Amino acid sequence: MKIKKKIQQARTLMDALPYIRKFNKKTVVIKYGGSAQADPALKEKFAQDIVLLYLVGIKPVIIHGGGKKISNLLDKLEFKSEFVDGLRVTSQSVMEVVEMVLGGNINKEITNLLNYHGAKAIGITGKDASFIEAKALDEGKYGLVGDITKIDHKVVEDLIAQDFIPVIAPIASGGTNHPGFNINADLAASKVAVALRAEKIIFLTDTPGLLDSDAKLISTLEKEEILELKNSGVISGGMIPKTDACFNALEEGVGSAHIIDGRVEHSILLELFTKDGIGTKIK
């Protein structure tokens, strides 16, 4: 019967109540990347998740990456890339491409998507009001790859206070007449979360979370255990910067850090609004 199904729906809604209550008016920083940012269907779900958080009184802040699109455009433009330590050295012309793709294309695409699901999103980069400042990483070894030196949290807080959802591209201001810096999105997310004294930071990845040596999902982890897992090689490769970013955020006062599977639809809701979440929670 129809009414019974409706009641069942209402009960499901009610299961979310304790979480809605718990995170009310709290800031949650979300590093958006991977498949969740590439697959059209997942993009829709992501936007729905964020707008739901926004409407139930949570304060989401999005920081996105943009790897593949940058490479694509660089290729089309036939830029030759030099690599050092496995990192592409960012020349001034590469930086221009990075900025166009991150700030002009991806950033506004996400912003637009959120707005059309009912949010009031604003897309910014660290150059806006110069709110993220950086210097060259390792004295310029990688060109315009930057190391964040300062975040002006008031700029972001003012936007949140006016009910905007800030969508942030990982670009930093480098000073007068400087083309700016390309910064690692994971670390940027971590530092923004710290600056905003966020309740949570969530990393959307293309893995189920942190896996132990038997490739089984680690549901919860103390931040101290990260070091051991790195030493033992369980954490490796692309997961290293993410866990470093988690560690840094937790060290500086963020409530908890989450590495979740962006390939699962509504993964953010599942992490925030269900009892065990779906990925790895680091405390």
Q: Which residues of this protein are in contact with its own copies, per CB under 8 A? A: 3, 6-7, 9-17, 20-21, 24, 48-49, 51-52, 55-57, 76-77, 96, 99-105, 107-108, 111-113, 115-118, 120-125, 127-130, 155, 158, 162, 164, 171, 173, 175-178, 180, 264-266, 269-270, 273-274, 278
Nearer to its own copies, 151 or 250 (CB): 151
Nearest distance from residue 224's CB to its own copies, in Å?
29
- Number of Cβ atoms within 10 Å of the Cβ of 20: 16
The least distance separating its own copies from the CB of residue 184, rounded to whole angstroms, comes to 19
The Cα 35–Cα 17 span in angstroms is: 29
State residue 130 phi and psi, 5-degree precision. 45, 45
CA–CA distances in Å: residue 168 to residues 106, 154, 225: 10, 15, 30
Find the angle CA(97)-CA(103)-CA(104) to the nearest 5 degrees: 80
Residue (165 or 193) nearer to its own copies, CB: 165
> Quick one: 57 or 253, whose CB is closer to its own copies?
57
Smallest distance, its own copies to C-beta of residue 103, A? 4
Residue 117 CB neighbours (<10 A):
18
CA neighbor of 174 nearest in space, from 142, 147, 206: 147
Nearer to its own copies by C-beta: 13 or 84?
Answer: 13
Choice between 133 and 186, CB closer to its own copies:
133
* 62, two tokens: 């999005």
Kindly state the smallest distance separating residue 101's Cβ from its own copies, in Å.
6
Please give the angle made by the CA atoms of 110, 63 and 215, to the nearest 5 degrees. Answer: 105
C-alpha 192/C-alpha 201 separation (Å) is 10
94 or 245: CB nearest its own copies: 94
Q: How far is the CB of 265 from its own copies (least distance, A)?
A: 6
Q: Closest distance between its own copies and the C-beta of residue 225, in Å? A: 24
